[in-house]
Structure 1
Amino acid sequence: MPRISGYAARFGDVTTIAGEFRERLAKGAFARTLRERPDVVMLLDHDSGRVLGRTSAGTLDLREDTIGLYFSLEVDETTPEGQTALGTITRRDVSGCSFGFRVRAEHWDDGGRQLPLRTITDVDLFEITATVFPAYPTTSAALARSASDKSHDARNASRRRAEAAMRRRGIL
Structure 2
Amino acid sequence: MIEIRTAHGLQSTGRTVTGYAAVYDSPADLGDFVELVKPGAFDASLRSKVNVRALYDHQGPAILGTTKSQTLRLWSDAKGLAFAMDIPNTTVGNDVLELVKRGDVSGCSFGFIVPAGGDAWRNGDKPIRELRSVNLLEVTLTSNPAYQATEVALRSAAQAKRRSDLNALWLETCA
Please state which band the TM-score falls in when normalised by the shorter chain: 0.7 to 0.9
Matches of 2:33 and 2:146, distance apart in 1: 12
Letter in 1 for 2:141: A
Matches of 2:43 and 2:91, distance apart in 1: 32
Matched, 1:126 2:142: no
Matched, 1:83 2:94: yes
- Per-residue CA distance 1:89-146 (angstroms, 9 max, x = gap): 00010111001100121111111xx211100000000001001122347xxxxxxxxx
Unaligned residue ranges in structure 2 (runs of 5+): 1-13, 149-175
- How well do the aligned residues superpose, as a CA RMSD in angstroms? 1.2
SS of corresponding position for 1:56: coil
Query: Which of 39, 44, 48 is equivalent to 1:27?
Result: 39
Letter in 2 for 1:33: S
Matches of 1:123 and 1:136, distance apart in 2: 18
Unaligned residue ranges in structure 1 (runs of 5+): 138-172
SS of corresponding position for 2:41: coil
Letter in 1 for 2:22: A
Aligned to 2:54: 42
SS of corresponding position for 2:99: helix
Summarize the alignment of residues 15-164 of structure 1 with structure 2, pairs less than 5 Å apart. Answer: 15-17=28-30, 19-77=31-89, 79-104=90-115, 105-111=118-124, 114-136=125-147
Distance 1:136 1:28, change over 3 A: farther
Which runs of at least 4 in structure 1 moved beyond 4 Å after TM superposition? none
- Contact 1:53–1:75 (CA under 8 A) maintained in structure 2: yes
Letter in 2 for 1:92: G
Give TM-score scaled by structure 1 length: 0.74
Deviation at 1:38, TM superposition (A): 2.6
SS of corresponding position for 1:57: coil
Aligned to 2:17: 4
Matches of 1:136 and 1:128, distance apart in 2: 15
- Per-residue CA distance 1:55-76 (angstroms, 9 max, x = gap): 0011110001110010000111
Bigger Rg, structure 1 or 2: 1
Letter in 2 for 1:5: T
